């Protein structure tokens, strides 16, 4: 079992302690096999291919392809389990077995559940306001891309309210909030442990922001820029406060709110 890195304490300048020298190879390998693999799958589209394979297998097992179409509860339930349990479970496994760290080590500061929940609500409110302002500004430089597929499939979901409940509930909080923040915090926490200087901290944040943005290439360049800005806010919060639950809660709420906003405008447009 690899040696464990010291618990992270101190001010912002000394918040991240380097991993023991004899453990550096394990930390680097963990970064590659954990966040590296997940971001590669998401950016390349291979995650969608794997997910489609799982959906086809489930459809074959139940004998009904219609049960796992995009606008069904079955689709969103399967996708949620695929990302949260599959990808999230893989990240936890690599963090424990390769990096030799307990998941609790991702919390870089002490805290309580009540404080984390309150901070998550405040972080969501701040992120929503800032991202709406940024969205208004960035669309002047990156006009909205065509998202016919997203609009068509989202329109189809309006016919199935339970699919919407799955999207804004389990999917938003488990696949987006839990898995994506777990991946981000894994990358940042281990990178900062390896390269604790100001340059290392800044570069790690920049890499995390770019990777997160390009995971949303299917939304066009405007989507990449907007989600990258959201990722920057999450990364800066983690750097400053070092708590994971507020990030997961804020991300889940933000994902649900964006989805509801999209459904509202599609419904209003359809009624016009």
In a domain, residue 260? The reply is yes
- C-alpha dihedral over 109, 231, 125, 13, to 10 degrees? 30
Look at residue 121 in the predicted model and tell me its pLDDT. Answer: 98
50 exposure class (CB count in 10 Å sphere: 0-12, 13-18, 19+): middle
In a domain, residue 11? The reply is no
In a domain, residue 40? The reply is yes
Look at residue 6 in the predicted model and tell me its pLDDT. Answer: 37
CA distances from residue 94 to 4, 31, 38, 141, 179 in whole angstroms, order as listed: 14, 9, 11, 39, 14
Is residue 36 within 8 A of residue 184, CB to CB? The reply is: no
Question: Which residue from 160, 173, 140, 151 is spatially nearest to 262, judged by alpha carbons?
Answer: 151
- What does the alpha-carbon distance between residue 35 and residue 180 come to, in Å, rounded to a whole number? 10
Q: What is the residue-level pLDDT of the chain in tens, covering all 272 positions?
A: 444 433 333 344 444 444 444 588 999 999 999 999 999 999 999 999 999 999 999 999 988 888 888 788 999 999 999 999 999 999 999 999 999 999 999 999 999 999 999 999 999 999 999 999 988 887 776 666 555 555 666 666 777 888 889 999 999 999 999 999 999 999 999 999 999 899 999 999 999 999 999 999 888 888 898 999 999 999 999 999 999 999 999 999 999 999 888 887 776 665 54
- What does the alpha-carbon distance between residue 195 and residue 201 come to, in Å, rounded to a whole number? 7
The tokens describing 119, both together, are 């901070």
- What does the alpha-carbon distance between residue 97 and residue 1 come to, in Å, rounded to a whole number? 8
In a domain, residue 108? The reply is no
The tokens describing 33, both together, are 């096999």
CA distances from residue 209 to 1, 205, 228 in whole angstroms, order as listed: 31, 6, 5
Residues ≥6 apart with Cβ < 8 Å to 239:
12, 15, 188, 201, 205
- What does the alpha-carbon distance between residue 82 and residue 171 come to, in Å, rounded to a whole number? 10
In a domain, residue 229? The reply is yes
Domain of residue 40, residue span: 23-103+116-271
In a domain, residue 171? The reply is yes
The tokens describing 11, both together, are 């001010």
Specify the number of domains making up the chain: 1
In a domain, residue 188? The reply is yes
Look at residue 11 in the predicted model and tell me its pLDDT. Answer: 40
In a domain, residue 9? The reply is no
């Amino acid at each position: 079992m690899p040696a464990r890195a010291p618990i992270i304490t101190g001010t912002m300048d000394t918040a991240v302690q380097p991993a023991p020298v004899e453990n550096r190879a394990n930390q680097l390998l963990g970064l590659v096999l954990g966040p590296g693999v997940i971001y590669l799958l998401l950016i390349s589209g291979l995650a969608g291919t794997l997910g489609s394979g799982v959906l086809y297998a489930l459809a074959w097992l139940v004998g009904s392809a219609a049960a796992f179409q995009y606008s069904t509860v079955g689709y969103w339930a399967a996708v949620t389990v695929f990302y949260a349990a599959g990808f999230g479970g893989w990240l936890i496994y690599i963090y424990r077995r390769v990096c030799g760290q307990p998941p609790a080590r991702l919390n870089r500061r002490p805290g309580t559940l009540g404080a984390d929940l309150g901070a998550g609500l405040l972080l969501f409110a701040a992120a929503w306001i800032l991202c709406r302002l940024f969205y208004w500004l960035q669309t002047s430089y990156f006009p909205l891309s065509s998202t016919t597929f997203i609009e068509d499939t989202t329109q189809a979901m309006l016919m199935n309210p339970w699919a919407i409940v799955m999207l804004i509930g389990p999917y938003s909080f488990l696949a987006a909030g839990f898995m994506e923040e777990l991946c981000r915090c894994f990358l940042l926490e281990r990178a900062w442990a390896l390269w604790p200087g100001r340059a290392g901290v800044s570069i790690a944040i920049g890499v995390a922001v770019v990777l997160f943005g390009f995971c949303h290439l299917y939304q066009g360049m405007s989507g990449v820029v907007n989600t990258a800005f959201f990722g920057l806010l999450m990364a800066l919060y983690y750097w400053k406060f070092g708590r994971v639950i507020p990030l997961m809660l804020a991300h889940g709420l933000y994902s649900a709110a964006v989805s509801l906003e999209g459904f509202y405008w599609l419904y209003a447009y359809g009624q016009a």
